[in-house]
Structure 1
Amino acid sequence: MGISRDSRHKRSASGAKRAHYRKKRKFELGRQPANTKLAGPKRVHIVRTRGGNFKHRALRLDSGNFSWGSEAVTRKTRVIDVVYNASNNELVRTKTLVKNAIVQIDATPFRQWWESHYGQVLSKRKTAETAEAKKVSSSVARKHTDRTEDAKVEQHVNDQFNTGRLYAAITSRPGQSGRCDGTSSKIIHLSHSKALLLAWVSWPCLVCMTKNQVSDVQAVVLCGPGHRLSPLTDEEKLPKCMLNIANRPMLYYPLTWLMQAGITDVIVVASTTGGQRLQNYLTRIFDGGRVELVLLEEYRGTMDALLAVKSRLKNDFMVVSCDLITDFPVAKFVERCRLSSALVTSLLATPTCMCFGQQPKESTEPKHRLLDDGGKERTLTWMHQDDIEEGNMTFSMALLTRYPNVHLYTDLSDMHCYLFRREIFEKEEMMHKLFSIREEFIPKLVKRQFGVEDYHRCEVLTADSGYCLRANTLSSLAECGKQLARIMGSNGTRLVSQAAEIGQKTQIGNDSLIGDQSKVGDKSSVKRSTVGNYVHIGNNVKISNSIIMDYAQIEDGVKLEGCIVGYKATIGEKCYLKDCDVGCEYVVERDTTLKGELMGCSREMFIDHKE
């Protein structure tokens, strides 16, 4: 018979089943569909009622009365298409008309009213020169003249009149009244190609961000010294932000991510050492956007770098590390911050997101212990893994009393991407005493958010799809190169440059990158590796799971497994290196066999620096 809405299937309080003493009844059937699809002229819909009876409901859904609230005018017009529904995309696919759905209507009745009321043409298709001059009486002409000051329409509305279609929201209940009426007064019109609508501005739960709404956000990209990437980095010859990842500088990825989202006011903060090379790169690659380079004499920490550009920040701003590589939507990030009015919103990533579809591995990135209010994304406690003593975590009883239902996360990694409100600088006195944004400032903000005089809100946004990576250590740098090569291969990008020279009988794996002007000798093999630009690889060389930076020299008979070879480094003939990291411009003598070594710096220098 169908799905029933009776209560006979429910169990009693003791768990016992109820006896089925009768069969299903017609009047107990589930809710019947309204059948309010946008199709054809008016029709009669049979509705089941009590007592096994039926009634007939007339539906006229091909047209309706729509009002233009700002002009106080209502016209009957044709409904053309359903373009958005906040509750279910299936209702858009099937073109079902329900209350609050966003539809496209014929703009002709409103255009005709505008032209007769104001005496002006409201479309580029029909300009004043091409339109035939209509004779009107002197009284009508005076009325048109008096109404000239009010004859103003916003540009995005005028653009829709040019297409002949207007966006509108349905305010009636088509399934109950059989009519499709609506309004265009409370809806912000956008181009359908962007497929983003701000329907019903009074609804705080539905806000979709566009590039125009994200463009007022500024961004600060912090380029630290990169001590954790030693020996590959060199403050003068090769700063951290210019390290090669998948044959592009590290700084390329966050800048491209921000600009593609519509953020063009970007400030790059770096040390004066190596600043000229960085300035040349920004001028050559990102000349179209507004990228400002600020050089500091002494880069002591992320908090000092942020305070150094305080005078340049006039709006809400993002703080991004130069080693962030992600495809997370910036619009979603800004949307969350503005909907919740949070003082700071942080981006965290799950292990699945950090390995891009592969099996999650044990990450060397420090984990954070995060406590939120039962899935509402408000951060209650923020602890670093190193701050937990003997595996014990302490929570305030007042906090747990106020929020009895909480979630505890232990596997999230901080991506060093934060969105701050401009009001954050009201706490400048506290900021001057701190060194790190991630390790000190964010935990203090979370801890103090419940104060009476200093009440604010801190939130997090978790990236659980796509990819979200950080190349801030040697192991993560190597992993990022492999992940990006895999992503580029899945997108159909050419992995071997046309300007590269490949020798005879040389095997290049499907997941390996070969940069411009690089040369690979005869009978060599490159598998699951990234080879930079202007790299010379000799004959009979075996490279696997490795990263070769720009201008490196790999001589004949070398075998590399799981290695990172730095900028302008040289590997002598017949060397065998496994799980080794070779520093910038370092020379490895011929016939060297090493395993798990760091060449180019002391191990103490690598371990001591954690920021």
Structure 2
Amino acid sequence: MVHATPVPSSGFQALILCGPGESLNAISSNPEENPKCLIPIALRPMVYYPLDWCKRAGITDITLITPPSALASVKAALQQNPYLTSLPSPSPTVVAPKDLKMTTGTAELLRLPEVQACIHSNFLLLSCDLLCDIPGEHLLEAWLVSQSELGSASQGGLSVFYPAKGIADEIKKEPTDFVAVTSFEKDEVPAVSRYELSKLAMSMPMDTLKEQLENDKGLLLRHTLVEKHASVKMLTSYRDAHLYILPKWIRSLAQHEERFESVSEDLIGYWAKAEWQRGLSKKLGIDEILGGKNEVQEEQGSNDGDSLEEEIDLRGMTTTHGQDSESSPTVPSSVEVPPILAYLTKPSKQLIRRVDSSALVLAMSLRLAKLESVEEVGRAAASPFSHASKIATPEGIASRSIVTKGDCLLGSNVMVEEKCVIKESCISSNAKICSGARLTRCVVMDNAVIGQKCVLTGCIVGRFSQVGQESVLKDCEIQDGVVVEKETDAKNEQFMSFEGFDEDDDDMDVEDDQDNDDEAVF
């Protein structure tokens, strides 16, 4: 395992977006008290991982951006949670823009005055749900080398993508992106070849691409793409990691282009296309921001549907190699759009993954639980994700119980009574596993109670929840604070608490997206 070694400050700062996490509402019923960024992954709060990644890369100027409703909880966790307080100083700054709502897009967030005021240099933008053991200084070095011949006003960016299909921990229905990349020319910064970087030509969610395919009856591409790039590689199984290295001028672009809602789809996607699509950089305001002034009327390449540029149907193409075309002359521009680079990771032992669904919370927690502890192999050989020990309080486990140490993590003050069997599971602090219970591939959060003789397989049990004795649950999710009645037998169900429903509605059946026979238990 390669470890990151802190490097001297390179002038970078990091912004970590701690959004509402609506995709995890089956785990947290109160995002104000228990926001997404504090949901545990292998016992540690989710935001611990990007914070630790930045610290190991030598970045100390870190800002957490959170909705005002979660500000108190985030600040309290930074001061009290033992995992967060164990991180090297200084502590991150927490900013809660007054107009940041639960539905605010990531690009909209960058336009908020409080966030604009935070950006004073080149910066990293990353999500609180990121797990990454690729050394941060490796990515920073790749970006710095690629920009070595450019001035500060014309520096490009870097976006990281990882394979989400065909991997060991593949999750059904995990979203992917359509990514089109091109190779560097031989005379373009040859030093970057060892970093396996590409130029990003297009990027959009696969759902967006499917809609376009349906509307256009095919994949339509502009002539200028194949004129600009002789070869284009298109991928559909990768996912945007929401880990970006961005130049300072992006702050102005985000503020200028009010139509941008998403960083991934809009800001990154349009920036990538502006590098080859004629006229787009002017319409986006990039020319003005970078100090250029294009006096040529660029009628071709408009971005409003009135383009004179012919579209190409990819289905009719036998190659992506472009040919000279007299009908599409190159329009001179006073500004060369800096490229956005793509760092495409490969399936390997190194881990990079977004954890933005309940299925990923379970899968990634169980994966990290299998790592050897520092106690077992020493700090030098241990993963950066390893815990000091696999079982924090061994005396809390009754002598006649079985806990498979190789694939389990037990937090502090966990109580395991007699005749329990726990395999491949993560159990957070102050949880109680009553006598005779059997847990396999489960995540049990802090202060939860599993009743006597329960059998749980593939379940997520929220904090302060209780599972009644002799219950048999498989692949279920139990929201925090919910009480499951004793002797409950359930499969693929979500046990949730809905405030505001009338008592007469308590038996309402809610159709599950994955299985029409499943119910949501209120």
Shift of 1:483: 1.3
Evaluate the alpha carbon distance shift between residue 395 and residue 426 of structure 1 in structure 2; reply closer, same or farther with a 3 A threshold: same
Indicate whether 1:394 and 2:220 are aligned. yes
Show CA shifts across 1:442-472 (max 9, x none).
2121122234644231111122341112210
Pick the aligned partner of 2:160 from 344, 347, 369: 347
Q: How does 1:177-576 map to 2 (within 5 A)?
A: 211-214=7-10, 216-233=11-28, 234-284=30-80, 285=85, 286=87, 288-297=89-98, 298-299=100-101, 300-308=104-112, 309-341=115-147, 342-351=155-164, 359=168, 361-374=170-183, 377-389=198-210, 390=213, 392-450=218-276, 451=278, 453=282, 454=287, 455-464=337-346, 465=348, 466-489=350-373, 491=382, 493-498=388-393, 501-509=396-404, 510-576=406-472
In structure 1, how many angstroms separate the alpha carbons of the residues matched to 2:469 and 2:371?
33
In structure 1, how many angstroms separate the alpha carbons of the residues matched to 2:106 and 2:341?
20
In structure 2, how many angstroms separate the alpha carbons of the residues matched to 1:448 and 1:581?
44
Shift of 1:441: 2.0
In structure 1, how many angstroms separate the alpha carbons of the residues matched to 2:394 and 2:15?
35
TM-score, structure 1 length as denominator? Answer: 0.61
Show CA shifts across 1:234-274 (max 9, x none).
21331111111111111111101101111000000112223
Evaluate the alpha carbon distance shift between residue 428 and residue 349 of structure 1 in structure 2; reply closer, same or farther with a 3 A threshold: closer
Shift of 1:210: 6.9
Deviates more, 1:586-595 or 1:448-457: 448-457
How many residue pairs match? The answer is: 395
Question: Residue type matched to 1:504 in 2?
Answer: S
In structure 1, how many angstroms separate the alpha carbons of the residues matched to 2:8 and 2:106?
29
Q: How does 1:33-182 map to 2 (within 5 A)?
A: none
Shift of 1:435: 2.2
In structure 1, how many angstroms separate the alpha carbons of the residues matched to 2:75 and 2:108?
21
- The answer to whether the Cα contact below 8 Å between 1:279 and 1:293 also exists between their aligned partners in 2 is yes
RMSD over equivalenced CA pairs, Å: 2.6
- The answer to whether the Cα contact below 8 Å between 2:163 and 2:237 also exists between their aligned partners in 1 is yes
Greater RCO between the two (CA within 8 Å, min separation 6)? 2
In structure 2, how many angstroms separate the alpha carbons of the residues matched to 1:237 and 1:606?
26
- The answer to whether the Cα contact below 8 Å between 2:458 and 2:474 also exists between their aligned partners in 1 is yes
In structure 2, how many angstroms separate the alpha carbons of the residues matched to 1:387 and 1:604?
27
- The answer to whether the Cα contact below 8 Å between 1:230 and 1:606 also exists between their aligned partners in 2 is no
Evaluate the alpha carbon distance shift between residue 362 and residue 599 of structure 1 in structure 2; reply closer, same or farther with a 3 A threshold: closer
Query: Is the radius of gyration larger for structure 1 or structure 2?
Result: 1
Evaluate the alpha carbon distance shift between residue 364 and residue 344 of structure 1 in structure 2; reply closer, same or farther with a 3 A threshold: farther
Show CA shifts across 1:366-394 (max 9, x none).
11121111366011121320022358432
SS, match of residue 427 in structure 1: helix
Shift of 1:430: 4.5
Percent identity over the alignment is 24
- The answer to whether the Cα contact below 8 Å between 2:393 and 2:414 also exists between their aligned partners in 1 is no
- The answer to whether the Cα contact below 8 Å between 1:253 and 1:324 also exists between their aligned partners in 2 is yes
- The answer to whether the Cα contact below 8 Å between 1:500 and 1:516 also exists between their aligned partners in 2 is no
Question: Residue type matched to 2:363 in 1?
Answer: E
Question: Residue type matched to 1:367 in 2?
Answer: T
Show CA shifts across 1:79-111 (max 9, x none).
xxxxxxxxxxxxxxxxxxxxxxxxxxxxxxxxx
Question: Residue type matched to 2:96 in 1?
Answer: L
SS, match of residue 440 in structure 1: helix
Question: Residue type matched to 1:463 in 2?
Answer: T
Evaluate the alpha carbon distance shift between residue 255 and residue 573 of structure 1 in structure 2; reply closer, same or farther with a 3 A threshold: same
In structure 2, how many angstroms separate the alpha carbons of the residues matched to 1:461 and 1:231?
33
Question: Residue type matched to 2:123 in 1?
Answer: F
Question: Residue type matched to 1:369 in 2?
Answer: F
Gaps of 5+ in 1: 1-195, 197-208
